Structure 1
Amino acid sequence: MKILILLFLVGPALIIFTSSQPGKLFKTHSDITPQPERGTRSADDNIRLPAQTYCAPSFDPSKLDAADAPIFKGLGNLHYPISTESAKAQQYFDQGLTLIYAFNHGEAGRSFKAAIKLDSTAAMPYWGLAMVLGPNYNAALNPTSLTEINDAINKALKYSESASPSAKALIAALRKRFPEKEVTDMTPYNEAYAAAMKKAHEAFPADINIAALYVDAMMNEHPWDLWFRNGTAKSWTPAIVEKLEKLLTTAPDHVGANHMYIHLMEASPEVEKAIPSANRLRDMLPAAGHILHMPSHIDIRTGNYHKGVVVNEKASSADSSYIAQCKIQGVYPMMYYPHNIHFLAACAFLEGNSKKAIDAAWSVARHADKTYIYETAAIQHYSIIPYYVLAQLGKWDEILKLDQPDTALIYPLAIWHYARGMAFNGKKDNESAAKELAALREIGKDPRMAGLFIWGVNHAAQLTQIATNVLYGEISAGKGSYDEAILALQKAGDIEDSLMYQEPPDWFFSTRHSLGHVLLKAKKFEEAEKVYLQDMKMYPENGWALMGLYKSLVGQGKLREAKLVKIRFDKAWKWSDIIISSSRI
């Protein structure tokens, strides 16, 4: 049974909803199956990537006070005229629509409520409120919101007599999206809404916001289910690609279109097609942390790690200011904001900037809300990012100073033992390393591990299995038992490849860095070369793999090729603060 945790802030309390019915109202995996090829983001016909908790609404829009709604600077100049005599209501509506496109649905809800307070007979702010209370690409419908959703739609319909024809089309379409009461399957409603939005788009083909909302409706019919694992498009995906690319030709600076295009193409075999959208979003909305962060979804897939560092530094700064000034609580500071810093740690590691990677890792851990750590594996994962980063960077003394996690937190405890085992092995203390491995194996047998999911996507048990095999492989290699080490590290890689795609990846980072390193030590240079080339299909031009590739080519006597790879390594390592001689320390 797979459980997806969704979080909603209700007043001062955080309610944790769980679902044990995959594919129903809450979407989760129906199974975990091996991933035959890395470098693609997709799912089988029967597997749908679920809503990422960190991209869920920042807080419950129904609980916001319109009186507290600010007008933000730095949110661009999107304008969608509505029927109102209040210039301020129009301003709030424009801001709310912008924030919908920026995936800050909670703050968008506050803007729509402010518009309603200023003009209670304007139809479109009610439309906006219903939109943000409903599902989106990253979050399923919260059924407790249906009463307020339907009330908002009914008021939008009531006051739509004076609305423009295009506004009437949007309101009528949204009416198709929601049931009157809770249902177990939203599929018919998602399909009806998409069909209605298609008609609206056909009636108003020049309206770029209707076009963008139509694409959004199409994508929400199949959230995170657009590509097969081998990179082949699902049957419904080409139509979405065609429509969105046409919209970007017409409106290249539309924030929603660019945001959606990144999500559309990040899993595709042509991820580089989204680079222009990533570049447009880098400075488009300086006050919207999530939009500032979004280019890094493409940066990490195209080897632009330093750009990923920069955008996540900007995103973290913007969100930090927003959270402090607006006193935001709930999911946004608990999940959304740390995601930026987590991504920063990942990109910094891949460019060899150890200080930034370690500082960011500790920052992620500090922002992991310990209030919910026992209930939420994702928060547990945030809290131990330093363990992963320190182990990858060979900070053995720092690892051995880490306090032991609470024994009730079996996943953090497992990775703590893994990191300590790596440290003892690095310090040539074989006996202590073996004790940590034994403890790690024992925790891996704990049946509670199977119920822990990171973001509702990957099992903590899988990560523990990877850790066990990596540590065993490293210990074996330290003893000179290279064949045994290689088998263990290959097994770790197979499990890593079976993980569903995450950004950043749940295993932090590639087991191929360890495998390639051991292959080099075993003088299996040709095999090592293949491992590093495969690694760069996922993380192009990462310096760790480039150094390993360089050494593998030198070992084969391919000195001319090696010289060219060394040039690539020097470029990739431009921002590093460490010297490496292999693919791992």
Structure 2
Amino acid sequence: MTGTHRGDSHSVVARAGKSFRIALAAAVLASGAELIDQATAQTNPERLGTVSFETSCSPEAQKLFDKAMLYQHSFWYRASQRTFEEVLKKDPDCGIAYWGIALSLLWNPHVPPPAKNLADGAAVLTKGKTVGAKTQRERDYLDALWVMYADYDKVDHRTRIVAYSKAMEQLAQRYRDDDEAQIHYALALNTSASPADKTYANQLKGGALLEPIFQRKPDHPGVAHYLIHLYDYPPIAEKGLDAARRYAQIAPAAAHAQHMPSHIFTRLGLWDDSIRSNAESARVAKEDGEAGDQLHAMDYLVYANLQLGQDRKAKAVIDEMVTVKGADAYFPAGYALAASPARYAIERGDWKEAAVLPVRAGAPPHVQAISYWARALGAARTGDPASAKADIAKLAELRDKLREAKDAYWAEQVDIQCQVATAWVLYAEGKYDEALKAMSAAADAEDRSEKHPVTPGVPKPARELYGVMLLERGNAGDALVAFEATLKKEPNRLAAYAGAAKAAEMSGDKAKARQHFAKVTTIAAGADEDRAEIADARQFLVKNP
């Protein structure tokens, strides 16, 4: 994710005392929070897990505060914000509630929040400091979160998230018996981790903090949730399987809790589990009117269905996705709407379709880049390098915009897309040695980085595309190495197994070819009949029993 937000932010620019609370409530109602009144009334908190966050607030406010934390820990931000605001109605002097509102306004901590949310959150925290909190611990929580908002209009998100992680480390050390401090620190360790750190030091440190808490508090939604995020990396994904199996049971009323297990399922290639997880998440989100959650789950559904060769099911999901409205402002939703059609065309090798994919007007640069990349790849693969070069030029513009915005991660990802597309243009122009060299470099660059937590994976791994290029040039041995390397990083990818099988066959290694072709038929046991690679696998196994 990976995760989703829960609706539009509310204006919380404050005036003193009672007038602030009246203005806040009016702004909430004006932005449609009456929907949340219905949602929170219908949702049984007992179906969201168990959280106890000690405060100095009144007993009635304390109950509401714990309820708000249930929503917050499952990234149900609109509901958590509304409930923290209800806390203030019960106890206007509950200063820590302002911390909760500001935390809700950050939305998914893996994604930079909109500028408006940062302005609103800064105002809320300022008000919270003015009202004051009754204990030093609560004041320390407010101060730590302020690091995420301080100079938000001058300091980039990456710098602030790293500073926030350090502030949470100090908080966690100061209050070692405070489980919530440890839990929020563990999450900050993950969100501030460098994508280039292949030792996963931050993630393993966060996991070590949470594992003993999970033993003591097996129904805490945040612990299970954040363990999944912490272990959402190929070499350590197995560590997250227990949390993945349990999180959906801990919080069955939360759409995000139904979705999150699929992060681990995707890393391990457990496609049927991922489909069940995201089908339920999409259903719950649709019932709750949560478009962002629904689209996010549907993107993972498309990915998993394509890995099983169930193309018609994937297409049905995509057709439904375009009818979902109301989540354009949130990155995971926009990403899903761009990535799923690209996946559908590229995984099926429909290069003509890929070459004419529409680009979402007004979408952020890194969302538009997905479509331009797919278009460039499709054009190159259909022998139209001129059109591909035009799309690559657009990619370069988007990469430069991201660099100017100091968004280093997405600038790097778009640069890798440029490299991949350029390699295939060289290939289309008959410059095969240059193309292979460029494609190898692109695959190396992608392997040094990490996929974003929001997405199940890039539309097509660069290493897998390198294998395709090698195979087409008759270099079956190196192609086999490339495909098997892809499978080590991204298990049970159908196209990677099909490529590995073909490469082994061309290399004369019938035993390995039989092994990989058998895996293709196992994965695609319920596939549609029109995937050529599946038909090839079945034919080989008949001829080579």
Deviates more, 1:313-322 or 1:551-560: 551-560
How far is the alpha carbon of 1:278 from its aligned partner?
0.6
| Cα distance in 1 between the residues matched to 2:502 and 2:164 | 56
How far is the alpha carbon of 1:519 from its aligned partner?
3.2
Asked whether the 8 Å contact 1:548–1:583 carries over to 2, the reply is no
How far is the alpha carbon of 1:78 from its aligned partner?
1.8
Pair 1:171 & 2:125 matched: no
Who is 1:107 aligned against? Answer: 79
Which structure has more relative contact order (CA 8 Å, sep 6+)? It is: 1
How far is the alpha carbon of 1:437 from its aligned partner?
3.4
Residues 1:96 and 1:583: Cα distance change in structure 2 (over 3 Å): farther
Residues 1:512 and 1:211: Cα distance change in structure 2 (over 3 Å): same
Who is 2:310 aligned against? Answer: 353
Identify, as 1 or 2, the structure richer in helix: 2
How far is the alpha carbon of 1:135 from its aligned partner?
8.2
| Cα distance in 2 between the residues matched to 1:228 and 1:397 | 33
Kindly provide the CA deviation profile for residues 333-371 of structure 1, in whole angstroms up to 9, marking residues without a partner as x. Answer: 4x5542222222222222322123333345455558797
| Cα distance in 2 between the residues matched to 1:434 and 1:468 | 9
Counterpart among 100, 115, 118 of residue 142 in structure 1: 118
Residues 1:441 and 1:91: Cα distance change in structure 2 (over 3 Å): closer
Residues 1:170 and 1:315: Cα distance change in structure 2 (over 3 Å): farther
Pair 1:316 & 2:282 matched: yes
Counterpart among 205, 210, 224 of residue 244 in structure 1: 210
Asked whether the 8 Å contact 2:88–2:97 carries over to 1, the reply is yes
| Cα distance in 1 between the residues matched to 2:86 and 2:455 | 36
Asked whether the 8 Å contact 1:392–1:584 carries over to 2, the reply is no
Aligned AA (1:60): S
Who is 1:458 aligned against? Answer: 410
3-state secondary structure, aligned to 1:501:
coil
How far is the alpha carbon of 1:535 from its aligned partner?
0.4
| Cα distance in 1 between the residues matched to 2:172 and 2:502 | 56
Counterpart among 418, 421, 429 of residue 376 in structure 2: 418
| Cα distance in 2 between the residues matched to 1:583 and 1:212 | 53
Residues 1:417 and 1:359: Cα distance change in structure 2 (over 3 Å): same
Who is 1:301 aligned against? Answer: 267
Kindly provide the CA deviation profile for residues 433-488 of structure 1, in whole angstroms up to 9, marking residues without a partner as x. Answer: 344335445545x6455215899532345424423423553x46xx8x86565445
Residues 1:214 and 1:412: Cα distance change in structure 2 (over 3 Å): closer
How far is the alpha carbon of 1:126 from its aligned partner?
5.2
How far is the alpha carbon of 1:565 from its aligned partner?
3.0
How far is the alpha carbon of 1:142 from its aligned partner?
1.8
How far is the alpha carbon of 1:94 from its aligned partner?
3.1
Who is 1:19 aligned against? Answer: none
Asked whether the 8 Å contact 1:405–1:416 carries over to 2, the reply is no
| Cα distance in 2 between the residues matched to 1:245 and 1:372 | 35
| Cα distance in 2 between the residues matched to 1:486 and 1:582 | 27
Q: How many residues align?
A: 492
Kindly provide the CA deviation profile for residues 240-289 of structure 1, in whole angstroms up to 9, marking residues without a partner as x. Answer: 33221111222233211111111212237322111100111133322212
Counterpart among 175, 179, 195 of residue 200 in structure 1: 175
How far is the alpha carbon of 1:321 from its aligned partner?
1.7
How far is the alpha carbon of 1:232 from its aligned partner?
1.4
Who is 2:496 aligned against? Answer: 545
How far is the alpha carbon of 1:536 from its aligned partner?
0.8
3-state secondary structure, aligned to 1:270:
helix
Who is 1:40 aligned against? Answer: none
| Cα distance in 1 between the residues matched to 2:360 and 2:7 | 29
Aligned AA (1:147): A
Residues 1:461 and 1:229: Cα distance change in structure 2 (over 3 Å): closer
Residues 1:120 and 1:53: Cα distance change in structure 2 (over 3 Å): same
- Per the normalisation by structure 1, the TM-score is 0.70
| Cα distance in 2 between the residues matched to 1:116 and 1:494 | 52
Who is 1:255 aligned against? Answer: 221
Pair 1:214 & 2:163 matched: no
Counterpart among 414, 417, 421 of residue 467 in structure 1: 421
Gaps of 5+ in 2: 13-26, 538-545
Asked whether the 8 Å contact 2:213–2:223 carries over to 1, the reply is yes
Q: CA RMSD in A?
A: 4.3
Asked whether the 8 Å contact 2:467–2:499 carries over to 1, the reply is yes
Aligned-pair identity (%): 18
| Cα distance in 2 between the residues matched to 1:197 and 1:558 | 56
Residues 1:131 and 1:417: Cα distance change in structure 2 (over 3 Å): closer
| Cα distance in 1 between the residues matched to 2:423 and 2:194 | 30
- Per the normalisation by structure 2, the TM-score is 0.75
